[in-house]
Amino acid sequence: MNKLTSIFLMLVNSLAFASDRPSVSQAHLLSLINAPYTTGYTLLDVRSSEEYQSGHIQSAINISHMTLSDELAKLPSNKDANIIVYCRSGRRAGIAEQILRNKGYTNVWHLTGDVVAWQASGLPLETEN
C-alpha cells in the first residue's frame, strides 16, 4: 500500500470515528451549567492539570486521558451516568471516550468543538487560584 493510500485510509477512519461520537453542543452544555439544581451529568476535562488550572469550564473535573483508567473511582459508579468529555481540540477526548466505553460507560458525550470552540465563542473559563 502506498503512502498516499495509507494517509487517505487513516483520514477516512478518523472521520468515521468522529461522526459516530454522540455530542453535546456548547449551547446545551451552557444551559445545563446555568440551570438551577441541574444534576445528572459529569463534565470531564481530560487535558493536563496545567491546562485545566489555566482555564476550564465551570463544574468540570480534571482527569488526564493518560491516567483515566486508573482514576475511574472519581467518576460516578453508575455506568449509565451521563459523562460529557472535552479537551483542547478533540483528540484526547476521543481517546478518553473510548476508554470509558471500554470500561462499560454507556452515556458518554463529546463537547462539540472542545475548549478551542468554547473560547472562540467567548464563553467563560474558570481558573484555579
Q: Tell me which residues are annotated as active site.
A: 87
pTM attached to this predicted model: 0.83
Q: Is residue 80 a part of any domain in this protein?
A: yes
Q: Which residue range forms the structural domain that includes residue 46?
A: 22-120
* Digit-coded pLDDT (tens) for 55-111: 999 999 999 999 999 999 999 999 999 999 999 999 999 999 999 999 999 999 999
pLDDT of residue 10: 40
The residue ranges of DSSP E strands in 58-113, in sequence order, are: 61-62, 82-86, 107-111
* Of 12 and 48, the one with more pLDDT: 48
CATH code of the domain containing 34: 3.40.250.10
Structure confidence at residue 8 as a pLDDT band (50, 70, 90): very low
Give domain status of residue 36, yes or no. Answer: yes
Contacts 24+ apart (CB under 8 A), 94-101: 94/17, 94/18, 94/21, 95/46, 95/65, 96/44, 96/46, 96/65, 96/68, 97/21, 99/65, 99/68, 99/69, 100/68, 100/75
Position 72 in a domain = yes
Residue 93 resides in a domain: yes
Domains of the chain: total: 1
14 within some domain: no
> Would you state the pLDDT for residue 38?
67
**83: in domain:** yes
